[in-house]
Amino acid sequence: MTSPEIAVAGPVPVGSVAPDFDLRDQNNRRVSLSGLREKGDVLVVFFPLAFTGTCEGELGHIRDNLPRFADDTLTTVAVSVGPPPTHKVWSSAQGYLFPILSDFWPHGDVARSFGVLDERRGYANRGTFLVGRDGLVRYAAMVGPGEARTEETWTAALATRS
């Protein structure tokens, strides 16, 4: 649950159609949710900002356990309002081999469509969504910027794979 001072709509509910997106990754390549879904399920991980400790820890967890988060039928992407050049430097330094997507412009539109944009602060809360190949949200959770996702969040999200 978010604190009252954080202005967000709330995460897209389980069972609803996930909003499609088309964003640039850290290598400036276009990545769409619909294109990723052709391969299988997609874990969409929103994070506030690059170069911050909690974000590095969470994405480092994905990096260190990549076989759990990416295989022939699952793709994991991380999304933040930062621009692709920032994500390029950060992902290279941290060894992130999964797409880090830029929701830079229009600023925060994808986070807003998923219901996780903190309008007052201008960046996403920590939203976690498992989107099935059929485009339906199978898992949705959100915690605020100061809170880290727990192992239970990752386990619960991955348990909903189709």
Just list the catalytic residues.
55
| Token pair in block for residue 24 | 């640039």
DSSP 73: T
Helices 53-64 and 84-94 cross at an angle (nearest 10°) of 60
How many Å apart are CA 3 and CA 152, to the nearest integer? Answer: 21
Residue whose entry in the numeric block shows the structure tokens 């480092």: 60
Distance between terminal CA atoms of the chain? 27
Residue (of 44, 138, 110, 50) closest to 86 by Cα position: 50
